[in-house]
Each structure stands twice: as C-alpha cells, then as structure tokens.
Chain A
C-alpha cells in the first residue's frame, strides 16, 4: 500500500524558513517523480514543485521559484521542501504527491498534508 506522510509544518513568521518532509513507502521511490502541491484556505490546488526520480531535474511554480528548494534522499525514501523567505501568501496545506509515472504528470497518490501558517 502506498503511503505518503508529510511532516514539518507549523507556524512561522514572515521572512522565516521551514523544511517540510515526506516519508514514502509502498512503492519503488527512486522510480517515481514527486511533487509538492498546496492549497491555501478557501482556494484551489496549486502546484508548487516537481522533482524527477533521480533528483537531477526540478521544476518550480513561478510563485516560489528562488525561495523554495525541492530535494529527495532516495536512500531514505524521503522528499523535502525547503521554504525560505516565507510570506503570508505561503500559508497553506502542503501535500506530498506521487507522480503517476506515465509521462502525463498525473498524481496517483497524495499524502494527507501538513499545514504551514505564516503569521506574525
């Protein structure tokens, strides 16, 4: 059974930093591209970032480029999101999401999310 468990969310002041983690199990982790997707209160889903299975290729939404860094440790079956220079606009539930693996960039499994609140 595929499981994705996020952690690391919390309350942080504007301008601060936070590192999210996602522990993956139930599938061959290094075969799968992974995403971070977020949902702000009252808003829709927003893609944040994607990383290839071997970690060589990364993509970012324009809203986070230069501030967030996605990474992975395949030896630990773990995905990360380093978030710097946070603003109130980054307040959201952050989901770890597994790519479907068929070159269509669908997401076939989602974690339950970890909540990030940026507030002074």
Chain B
C-alpha cells in the first residue's frame, strides 16, 4: 500500500521557520492533511487539503504539495509548537487512510 515518509526529527530555534516534509510517490496527486500532536494530548488538524487551515489555526502554519513531496511550514516558531507532526492521505486504491511516520519538532 501507499507509503508516506517523514524525517524523524526537525529542530529549529524560536522565531525561525520549521519545514517538515512528507514524501510519497506522486503525492502531488493526493490531498494531504497535517496533524499536530502535543505530548499527552489528542492530535489536532492543522492543515487540510494541502494548504487549508482550520479555524483557530494560526497563519504561521502553511502547507504545499507538489511532485513527490508535501511540506508543512511553520513560520515564527514558538515553544508551544513543539510537538509531533503527521501527514496523512487517503489511498483510494487500497481504501486505506495512510499516516506518515511522524516528525518530532524540537524548539531549541
């Protein structure tokens, strides 16, 4: 079935920009969703349909998707952004929801 690949970890200083990638074969033809999971909390949808932000999600969070890579970008990173981030797609071929392995964002 379809596989999504994320880097295990990304580190960034406060105020800088964090870039988290999600690789998949021709992922640009899929709709990609991103979730934030802070320790001890349920996941939260932060980007859906590649680029859309749910209400309440800061404009600092943005997404893009093209070719074989989807990207979540967090600008002006804050300490509260430290969390695990997961990408997700729907694989219509296998009728499976597919998650990436997750990326731990550390704010230095």
A binds B: yes
Q: Residues of A with Cβ closer than 8 Å to B?
A: 35, 37, 44-47, 50, 59, 61-62, 95, 100, 102, 104-108, 110-113
* Pairwise interchain contact B33-A106, C-beta atoms closer than 8 A: yes
* Pairwise interchain contact A104-B48, C-beta atoms closer than 8 A: yes
A78 to chain B, nearest CB (A): 19
The residues of B that contact A106 with a CB separation of less than 8 Å are 31, 33, 45, 48-49, 88
Per DSSP, chain B at the interface is: strand
Q: Residues of B with Cβ closer than 8 Å to A?
A: 1, 31, 33, 35, 37, 42-45, 48-49, 54, 84, 86, 88-90, 95-102
The residues of B that contact A105 with a CB separation of less than 8 Å are 31, 89-90, 97
* Pairwise interchain contact B95-A59, C-beta atoms closer than 8 A: yes
* Pairwise interchain contact B45-A112, C-beta atoms closer than 8 A: no
11 sample A-B contacts, Cβ–Cβ < 8 Å, listed by A number: A45-B43, A45-B102, A47-B96, A47-B99, A102-B48, A104-B49, A105-B90, A107-B43, A110-B42, A112-B42, A113-B42
